[in-house]
Structure 1
Amino acid sequence: MRKYNRTKEELDKIIEFVEEDFPRHHRKVEEITVDTVLTPREAIDLAKRYHQEHGLDGTVDERIESLLFDEAYTFKINPDDRENDDIRPAWRVTVDLEPNPFLFEDYTLIVSDPDKAVMGMLDANGHPVSEGNEFTDEDIEYIMSDEETEKDKA
């Protein structure tokens, strides 16, 4: 991990930037400052349809007051040219999970406003979920069990 030796002034500037930038990514419906393609209800309906079609766990939170809007969601980073990152407005729709011993937090469906489609998912920590980095039902069952597999015994 890279260490930084920053001055107090540099840290203050970073904190100021984060405090100014954060609201742009987590606006309540009444705080949106740009024109949107979708209405809040349409964004929730798209998330519900995606949730159903993909057989996801949990229940889509349909309350408009819990909906968040991100004026500049980063869908994809271009490491060679950060000026060409794929940044678009998006709705953040929460999916509530039933409490259980392993999966105990909600996740978020990202609905692209201009594309009118669910374009991604964030885990409870706000990290993007993509193919290959999620647990399967079998993984969870194994983690929760006390049984050893043949591979574990070897």
Structure 2
Amino acid sequence: MSLDEYKKMTDEEFKSLTDEEFEEYLKLKKEDFPRHYRKLGEITVDTVLTPEEAIEIAKKYHQEKELDGVVNEQIEDLFFDEAYTFKVDIINRDNDDIRPAWRVTVDLPPNPFLFEDYTLIVSDRDEAVMGMLDVNGHPVSDGNEFTDEDIEYIMSDEDTENYNE
């Protein structure tokens, strides 16, 4: 079975895999992982941008948005993702928006209140910064702002009532 076939499985089908099938899945995942963190010499697809252009796009975005830190300009620290997922279509995973992207690191000065570095995602095809990843590799929303629903939930005292009992 291919990795794409595993991705098309429902949760129930995936949970019912035998130990051998699951081990095969893990092997395929492990083989697939490096294509998301390729160094320059390992890239196997044609790129639109050069490494220098990707860094310049990241620097311009960083400056325009007045973000913290300094864009790492070391080409040897640059990663390329041959299949970065920009958007997931929950209903039909075949419609996920997957395309090549550059991962440009932004270094933050040591600070007890801020996490370490974060990453700007530069779409190779669009020649633009299309997102950010935090130090743990999780997507960062624009400004990481709370929605009205988030604030309402946080401010509600429903959870605190349970602690007082």
TM > 0.5 fold call: yes
Pairing 1:21–2:32 present = yes
Task: Show the 5 A alignment for 1:71-150.
Answer: 71-131=82-142, 133=144
Q: CA deviation at 1:80?
A: 1.3
Structure holding more helix per residue: 2
* In 2, Cα distance between equivalents of 1:28 and 1:73: 15
Gaps of 5+ in 2: 1-11, 147-165
Q: Would the aligned equivalents of 1:98 and 1:104 in 2 still touch at CA under 8 Å? A: no
After superposition, the Cα gap between the structure-2 partners of 1:134 and 1:28, relative to the gap in structure 1 and judged at 3 Å, is: farther
Cα separation, 1, equivalents of 2:91 and 2:53: 35
Which residue is 1:151 aligned to?
Answer: none
Count of aligned pairs: 133
Q: CA contact under 8 A between 1:27 and 1:70: conserved in structure 2? A: yes
Partner of 1:63: 74
Percent identical residues:
71
Task: Say which is worse superposed, 121-130 or 17-26, in terms of deviation.
Answer: 17-26
CA distance in 2, matches of 1:20, 1:42: 29
Q: TM-score, normalised by structure 1?
A: 0.80
Question: Is the CA contact 1:93–1:110 (under 8 Å) kept in the aligned structure 2?
Answer: yes
Normalised by the length of structure 2, the TM-score is 0.75
Give the equivalent residue in structure 2 for 1:53.
64
**In structure 2, C-alpha distance between the alignment counterparts of 1:74 and 1:128, rounded to whole Å:** 11
Q: Show the counterpart of 1:44.
A: 55
2:95 partner amino acid: N
Q: Deviations over 1:9-57 (max 9, x none)?
A: 1331222122111111000011000000000000000000000000000
Q: Structure 1, unaligned stretches of length 5 or more?
A: 136-154
Letter of the 2:52 partner, please give it. R
Amino acid in structure 2 at the alignment position of 1:129: V
CA distance in 1, matches of 2:142, 2:126: 21
Per-residue deviation, residues 62-115 of structure 1 (Å, max 9, x unmatched): 000000000010000111111111111000000011111121311000000000
